[in-house]
Chains A and B, each alone.
Chain A
Amino acid sequence: MFNKALNHLEEILISFLMAAATLVIFVAVVHRYLAGVPYIQDLALKIHMSWAQELCIILFVWMCKFGAAYGVRTGIHVGVDVVINRMSPANRGRFVIFGLLAGALFTGAIAVLGGTFVWDNGAHHAFLDLIGQPREDVFEGPTTPDLEWPTWIVYSAIPLGSALMCYRFLQVCWNFYKTGELPKHDESHVEGIDEQTPLDVKEAKQ
């Protein structure tokens, strides 16, 4: 139940981020174009779009961090499996488990480091502010230049995404241990979309 909800949330989030980033840049380009057109430009000038690139970058970085977690679940992260594919199934299995645990180790470490960084970079101050006990030696974190959002919120994609990714590695590892199956990504296929209809052309009369 929990896993199902998490899966859905993850998929909706990354699809939304992809669409939103594309839309933002499209609108920004159209806005800049209109700003050069007489009569419309006065209106266009009133609209501020200087933050578009910054927002797009933030959206994509978030998409990257959570999409990478989704990618563990779909088996899209490519590795050099030439060597281990020639081993006996038992040995191959050991290396697969080693690889998955290494992934969990790295992402887990990043989640902790990222968490520490975000905490020191403003989250601590925000927390103390929230509970009404500001302290001199805990400084307020920086903001992003254009949107002026606190960077600790923006950067929290690292600990959150990495923690989720770590969970996914452990999940895949457990499944592999139980069933011996790994998620496999098929490049030639977008899930849920029908196969292409083959071409129909006339042959030359001999």
Chain B
Amino acid sequence: MNALIIFSLLLALMLTGMPISISLGLTVMTFIVTMTQVPIESVALKLFTGIEKWEIMAVPFFILAGNFLTHGGVARRMINFATSMVGHFHGGLALASILACSMFALVCGSSVATVVAIGSIVLPAMVAHGYPMRFGAGVIITAGSLGILMLPSIPKVIYAISTNTSIGALFVAGLLPGIMLALMLAAVTWYIARKNNYPRLARMGWKARFHAFRKSFWGLLLVVIIVGGIWSGAFTATEAAAMAAVYSFFVAIFVYKDLKLRDVPKVLKDSANMSAMLLYIITNAVLFSFVLTNENLPHQLADWLLSMNLGQNGFLFVVNLVLLGAGNFMDPSSIILIMAPIFFPAAMQLGVNPVHFGILIDVNMEVGLCHPPVGLNLYVASGISKLGITELTKAVMPWLLTMIVFLVIVTYWPWLTLVVPQMMGML
């Protein structure tokens, strides 16, 4: 009964369009005042201590690093390198942007940042070369979602926080699925481009390729720093985020010099703005899950889910459906913060591997980012391409369907996610 009241109130408040963080907070406050003995001051305490957790600090660090990478010329050089490698195939520039998105995703923890970084450079070029804008946008929206699947990823950090799963293991677990998704997207792109006879670029010689690689080297080195640093014990996963921020600052200002020192305060301010928004949702979601725990709801819901005897496969199917549904209305961080504590206990009892479960949720979030009504990648791409949401929705369909197929593969083939962390001794 209480569960019904809590969730109805939350849903009603959210549908009024107020910030998700505020609707979470107001739900909690209303509930505490009217239905529990919990002293109301503990709400204020939780608002501080809710994010007083070291792992959460990776979120602002990765956002800062992402902003330096996006505006510091790293993306541009990665695109040049990718174009030199695959530009001569059918749909060459589009394939190059998938490759560039994958490379950028290796160092950046946000899908939106990936779409912005690669899209804002490559989309104008694609139009100039005679590709339809909607084709380019469709590619970028979906390939950009790799940003939260490959290595560092803010949704993974948030999942790790809410379920006490190893961040390092989640990072590397996304590697193989990421490569697979990139290949699947590339295959679809290549097929469409060949069918419509979209332009190809001149094949580059190995000398030119090497030159392009050398220029993008400093950006790619960040992969070595993040993975190598964690693996060799130079720093922890959270510290890796801070090191990534410092390194990308250094590369943007002193190596590539695409960013001026006087631009740095603006990047800091913008990163602080974005991080504060996320941290504020996290705080209120922590508050929300505190109320749920106080009422013992996650366990009751887990018991209820288990009592339906779905088995592991059926359970994962239901999880996918719910998450895809939630992806219609909310952003990844809010979905994970609200849903993970509810599904996680049941998943553990059914013997799902926590890392596999995390990647499965992550892929669901990727899909949600790419379709309306709420889909950040779509909105950002619409901003860059000046195309309407309806048109973009049609444009993204072939790749979106591919992602759903990919989601099924990830869900029912745990080996794909678990093999790399197992090889690295993280599981």
Give me the interface of A with B, judged by CB distance under 8 Å: 11, 14-15, 17-19, 21-22, 25-26, 28-29, 33, 53, 56-57, 60-61, 63-68, 70-71, 74, 76-85, 95-96, 98-100, 102-103, 105-107, 109-110, 113-114, 116-117, 120, 154-155, 157-159, 162, 185-193, 195-205
Contact = CB atoms under 8 A, between A and B. Distances in A.
B63 to A, nearest CB: 9
A77 B21 contact: yes
A193 B87 contact: no
A80 B265 contact: no
A76 B18 contact: no
B295 interface: no
B22 interface: yes
Contact of B277 (A60, A61, A71, A204): A71
B83 interface: yes
Contact of B267 (A110, A113, A190, A204): A190
Given A204-B200, A204-B201, A71 B47 contact: no
Contacts of B124: 198-199
A81 B18 CA distance: 8
B365 interface: no
Contacts of A70: 272-273, 276
Contacts of A14: 268-269, 272-273, 276
Contacts, number: 253
Given A76-B274, A106-B25, A204-B88, A29 B234 contact: yes
Interface residues of B, number: 93
A11 B265 CA distance: 9
B19 A99 contact: yes
B128 A198 contact: yes
Given A103-B19, A196-B120, A198-B128, A74 B201 contact: no
B395 to A, nearest CB: 17
Interface stretch (B299-307, B314-322, B376-384, B408-416): B376-384
A203 B201 contact: yes
Given A21-B57, A26-B242, A79 B121 contact: no
15 contacts: A15-B265, A25-B242, A26-B242, A68-B276, A70-B276, A71-B273, A102-B18, A113-B44, A117-B45, A158-B48, A190-B70, A195-B120, A198-B124, A201-B201, A204-B202
A18 B263 contact: no
A198 B125 contact: yes
Nearest to A104: B22
B314 to A, nearest CB: 29
A135 B128 CA distance: 77
A7 to B, nearest CB: 11
Contact of A193 (B53, B266, B330): B266
A95 B16 contact: yes
A196 B125 CA distance: 12
A26 B246 contact: yes
Given A14-B273, A29-B235, A198-B125, A102 B202 contact: no
**Could you say which of A74, A79, A154 has the most chain B C-beta atoms within 10 Å of its C-beta?**
A79
A63 B19 contact: no
B122 interface: yes
B256 interface: no
A205 B202 contact: yes
Contacts of A193: 71, 259, 263, 266-267
B41 A116 contact: yes
Nearest to B75: A196
A67 B125 contact: no
**Could you say which of B22, B43, B275, B379 has the most chain A C-beta atoms within 10 Å of its C-beta?**
B22
Interface in B29-62: 29, 40-41, 43-45, 47-48, 51-54, 56-57, 60-61
A165 to B, nearest CB: 9
B176 to A, nearest CB: 29
Contacts of B380: 187-188
Contact of A190 (B22, B23, B266, B329): B266
B129 interface: yes
